[in-house]
Amino acid sequence: MRRINMKTDIYNQKAEKIGEIELPKEIFELEVNSDLVYQVISSQRSNRRQNTAKTKERGEVRGGGRKPWRQKGTGRARHGSSRSPIWIGGGVAFGPTPDKNYKKRIPAKMKRKAMLQVLSAKARESMILVLEDIKLEKPKTKEMAEILGKLFLKKGSGIVVLPKIQKELILSVRNIPKTAAIQAKDLNALDLLNYKYVVLLKDSIKVIKDTFLK
């Protein structure tokens, strides 16, 4: 595996370089097991799936209370009800129902390893951006869009990783297209892969280390 430089630039909210920071190699220099990442991503997508599809079975459709025609003597095939799945407007056989369970159990250790490996892959591809901090007096989408625009918005999507709940930042980010905000302790492989760039506030690195490297 090609070794990456564990030092990366650190920026202020004006996108000005103000120094360098050393990234922990136990987070940002791991080998990527693509099979593990795929398994975790598939499970997380399945667990987020909302089971809202529903078709009506023959007992739920309207009509069909009497036999369409007599059993014999008409020259037609015998039928007992127009609710039959072979009739137009009849019930659906083997259709989706809300009681189907799509949940998949995946060990926390696997989820943690996959997430760290995705961070390593992002770092290797220079898609990790470290900011000293972002300070806003009040939620301001336009101001946040200008900050992120100087960092990545013109080049692709991005997710901002916060060390803790910062309501003014979360509210400022949520209406910006192709952008999201998440607490460092809630990081997961699926959310990281849904966005091209990862913007880490400096203090988030310590939270990731304390949370996922126990």
Of 28, 35, 20, the closest CA to residue 3 belongs to 28
Per the listing, tokens 């998440």 go with: 182
Domain CATH number, residue 130 = 3.40.1370.10
Residues 178 and 93 in one domain: no
Residues 45 and 72 in one domain: no
Residues 200 and 96 in one domain: no
Residues 95 and 108 in one domain: no
Per the listing, tokens 């990731």 go with: 208
pLDDT digits (tens, 9 = 90+) for 14-57: 889 999 999 999 999 999 999 999 999 999 999 998 888 999 99
- In what helix (H) or strand (E) does residue 103 lie, and over which residues does it extend? none
Q: What is the pLDDT of residue 69?
A: 93
Q: Which sign, positive or negative, has the C-alpha torsion 19, 10, 171, 184? A: negative
For residue 205, how many C-alpha atoms fall within 13 Å in the half-sphere facing its CB? Answer: 22
The last residue of a domain, from among 38, 70, 101? 101
How large is the average pLDDT for residues 159-183? 94
Q: Could you tell me if 176 and 196 are in contact, meaning their C-beta atoms sit under 8 angstroms apart?
A: no
The last residue of a domain, from among 101, 120, 138? 101
Q: What is the pLDDT of residue 3?
A: 44
- Tell whether 111 is covered by a domain: yes
Q: What is the pLDDT of residue 134?
A: 92
How large is the average pLDDT for residues 190-199? 95
Residues 175 and 129 in one domain: yes
Q: What range does the domain containing 167 cover?
A: 7-49+104-212
Tokens of 213: 């490297």
pTM of the model: 0.80
Residues 76 and 90 in one domain: yes
Residues 115 and 186 in one domain: yes
Side by side, which strands form the sheet with 17-22? 17-22, 7-11, 128-131, 197-201, 158-162, 179-183
How large is the average pLDDT for residues 147-158? 89
Q: How many structural domains comprise the chain? A: 2
pLDDT digits (tens, 9 = 90+) for 105-150: 999 999 999 999 999 999 999 999 999 999 888 899 999 999 999 8
Q: What is the pLDDT of residue 98?
A: 87
